[in-house]
Amino acid sequence: MDDARAQAIADGFKVFGDKTRIRILFCLQDSEKCVEDITEEIGMEQSAISHQLRILRDAKLISVRKEGRYSYYSLKDEHVSTILQMGMEHAAED
């Protein structure tokens, strides 16, 4: 593996290093949600959630769909869900 690819993988995993982003990703596992739904479920200010959503979008972990004045967020693909599930299983190990 070359350095550029190793760096890209390391940068991708850095995004998973924040508990708020992890909570947002788990929040989106079941269905797409707007910012208001996410803020309500997580219990944080909209500006903080919006900032984290931008980071997740930039990392290509979530997708956004616009409908009128609302933006709806969802996991980008099944790979993201698999990574979350594997992390959950690993954290549950003794």
Could you report the per-residue pLDDT of 64-82, keeping only the tens digit for each? 999 999 999 999 999 999 9
Q: What is the pLDDT of residues 41-67, one digit of tens each?
A: 999 999 999 999 999 999 999 999 999
Q: What is the pLDDT of residue 12?
A: 86
Residue ranges of alpha helices (H) inside 1-94 are 3-15, 19-27, 35-42, 46-58, 78-92
Mean pLDDT of the 12-18 span: 92
- Single pTM value for the model: 0.90
Token pair of 43 as six digits:
């219990």
Within 10 angstroms of residue 59's Cβ, the number of other Cβ atoms is 17
| pLDDT over 80 (residue 2) | yes
